[in-house]
């Protein structure tokens, strides 16, 4: 609820209890041209304040008469180190109908609650403020130290730097790599972003094409041509098949243990590697191109599901910094790519073969060529009325691919897939989206050929549905619903 008072309109301030904290506040307000009245029971302190040309008077802030002395003040700051006296002052003002904006000093969470109940609008705890300030200073100093070390490693490049991203990279990987390449370029070091697999999913391809981000396939380069190697957002891709690693930047711990690196910044307390790279861009005071700003903002939004999944304050402040520099028309195009005919076919098949149990939907999309279409189908099916969790699977080559999505806060879909298929396949993902790949031969005991496609599909259909519904804790009817 608004108090109806803004700091700009507050013309007169009262400070009750002027110890070191109150004195510092008084000096700051006076330096800003504010009119300040100070009340303190220590005569010697009041005399010293008057010697500094401050308006100070002697009184015990517990006394009800003090309420009349501060009646014409818009804001009352009660800063005594005696919390009981502060409580009495707050109570007196509110009991007499005083409507001033009150800022009161507490000593711990209990006294803070008491002051709030008495009517203080804002309660501060100096020890907590000092701790927060110290942590911010530590964070700033640590980032400055790391930025200097990162720069030194980049500066040590004689020929060229390789920036490796995880297999079939997502927007967070690509954006982070593009930012690191810009950092390297600012230090006159040339770098290539190197990927394995494919740039899958239509949004990812649109992301790369619209922003003009140059990527190089691992098949087209010789790693011996690079004398500095960086891994960016790589942990989800497993251990790299390369030699010495110089730089590691990620928001996930490496799954296969620690790597021996010259520089490492792994922060599991943020939700996107793009957030980490944004902080380095800020610390190094680089001119941010519109393309990289747009990429980083999209990387953060994609990794946090538009700030709905595991978003941290660091992610939000990084996004706020990037927002003015980003091309929002391009972002809209990336987020709404045209749907390919095959994706439409996969979605249609998934809708036709869906089985729903409660709010959980599982579907078989049959045999497919574009496995990235599964993720889009799972996402679209999540929009059906009453559905909170979806899983769509299909066969491609000799592998069963499965994509799942969930908006049920009680369910961790990544854990569901790991429980169901972790022993026979590779499950990866988050609490809200996950995927798994299962070798078809291990799952069914039958090799793929044209003669047994229907048999394979039937075996897969029965086994995958049952395992999924069991892992979700719901019963399968055993029948798909095409209605």
Q: Tell me, what's the pLDDT at 8?
A: 41
Residue that is written with structure tokens 């090799």 in the block: 447
Residue 4's pLDDT is what? Answer: 39
- Residue 6: its pLDDT value, please? 42
CATH superfamily to which 140-335 belongs: inorganic pyrophosphatase (n-terminal core) (3.90.1640.10)
What is the pLDDT at residue 137? 78
Q: How many CB atoms within 10 Å of residue 106? A: 22
Q: What is the pLDDT of residue 3?
A: 39
Q: Which residue, among 230, 217, 290, 225, has the nearest Cα to 259 in the 3D structure? A: 230
Tens-digit pLDDT profile for the chain (483 aa)?
333 334 444 478 999 988 788 888 888 888 888 889 999 999 998 999 899 888 999 999 999 999 999 998 889 999 888 999 999 999 999 998 888 899 999 988 888 899 999 999 999 888 777 777 787 777 778 889 999 999 999 999 999 999 999 887 889 999 999 999 999 999 999 999 999 877 766 777 788 888 889 999 988 999 889 999 999 998 765 566 667 889 999 998 876 566 788 999 999 889 999 999 999 999 999 998 999 999 999 999 988 878 877 788 899 999 999 999 999 998 888 876 666 777 888 888 888 888 898 899 999 888 888 777 888 888 888 888 889 999 999 888 778 889 999 888 788 888 888 888 888 877 887 778 888 888 877 655 555 555 566 777 777 777 788 888 888 887 765 555 544
Which CATH architecture is the domain 10-124 placed in?
Answer: 3-Layer(aba) Sandwich (3.40)
Bridge partners for 264 per DSSP: 248
Nearest to 175 by CA among 150, 212, 201: 212
| Token pair of 135 as six digits | 């942590």
Distance CA 176, CA 472 (A): 34
User: Using N-to-C axis directions, what is the helix angle for 372-381 and 202-211, rounded to 10°?
Assistant: 110
Alpha-carbon span 223 to 360, nearest angstrom: 46
| CATH 3.40.50.720 assigned to 341-472 | no
189 contacts 124 by C-beta, under 8 angstroms: no
* Domain boundaries of the chain, sorted by first residue: 10-124, 140-335, 341-472
pTM above 0.75, yes or no: no
Amino acid 131: pLDDT: 78
């Amino acid at each position: 609820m608004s108090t109806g008072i803004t700091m700009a309109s507050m013309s007169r301030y009262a400070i009750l209890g002027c110890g070191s904290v109150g004195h510092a506040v008084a000096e700051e307000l006076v330096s800003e041209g504010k009119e300040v009245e100070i009340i303190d029971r220590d005569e010697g302190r009041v005399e010293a304040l008057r010697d500094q040309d401050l308006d100070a008077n002697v009184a015990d802030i517990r006394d009800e008469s003090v309420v009349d002395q501060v009646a014409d003040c818009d804001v009352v700051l009660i800063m005594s180190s005696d919390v009981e006296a502060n409580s009495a002052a707050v109570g007196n003002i509110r009991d007499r109908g005083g409507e001033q904006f009150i800022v009161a000093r507490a000593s711990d969470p209990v006294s803070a609650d008491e002051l709030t109940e008495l009517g203080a609008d804002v309660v501060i705890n100096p020890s907590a403020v000092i701790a927060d300030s110290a942590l911010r200073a530590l964070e700033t100093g640590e980032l400055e130290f790391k930025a200097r070390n990162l720069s030194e490693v980049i500066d040590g490049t004689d020929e060229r730097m390789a920036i490796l991203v995880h297999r079939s990279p997502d927007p967070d990987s690509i954006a982070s790599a593009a930012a690191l390449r810009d950092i390297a370029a600012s230090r006159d070091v040339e770098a290539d972003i190197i990927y394995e697999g494919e740039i899958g999913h239509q949004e990812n391809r649109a992301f790369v094409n619209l922003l003009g981000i140059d990527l190089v396939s691992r098949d087209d380069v010789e790693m011996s041509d690079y004398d500095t190697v960086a891994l960016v957002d790589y942990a989800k891709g497993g251990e790299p098949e390369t030699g010495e690693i110089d730089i590691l930047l990620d928001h996930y711990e490496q799954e296969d243990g620690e790597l021996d690196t010259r520089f490492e910044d792994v922060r599991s307390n943020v939700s996107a590697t793009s957030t980490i790279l944004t902080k380095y861009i800020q610390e190094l005071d680089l001119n941010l191109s519109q393309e990289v700003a747009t990429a980083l903002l999209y990387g953060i939004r994609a990794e946090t599901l538009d700030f709905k999944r595991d978003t941290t304050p660091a992610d939000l402040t990084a996004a706020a910094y990037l927002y003015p520099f980003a091309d929002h028309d391009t972002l809209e195009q990336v987020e709404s790519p045209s749907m390919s005919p095959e994706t439409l076919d996969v979605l249609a098949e998934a809708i036709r073969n869906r089985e729903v149990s409660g709010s959980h939907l599982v579907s078989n999309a049959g045999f497919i060529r574009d496995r990235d279409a599964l993720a889009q189908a799972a996402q679209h099916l999540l929009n059906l009325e009453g559905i909170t969790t979806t899983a769509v699977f299909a066969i491609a080559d000799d592998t069963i691919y499965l994509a799942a999505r969930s908006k049920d806060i009680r369910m961790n879909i990544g854990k569901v897939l790991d429980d169901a298929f972790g022993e026979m396949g590779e499950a990866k993902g988050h609490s809200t989206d996950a995927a798994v790949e299962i070798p078809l031969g291990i799952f069914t005991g039958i090799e793929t050929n044209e003669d047994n496609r229907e048999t394979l599909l039937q075996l897969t259909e029965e086994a995958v549905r049952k395992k999924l519904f069991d892992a979700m804790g719901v019963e399968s009817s055993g029948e798909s619903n095409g209605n």
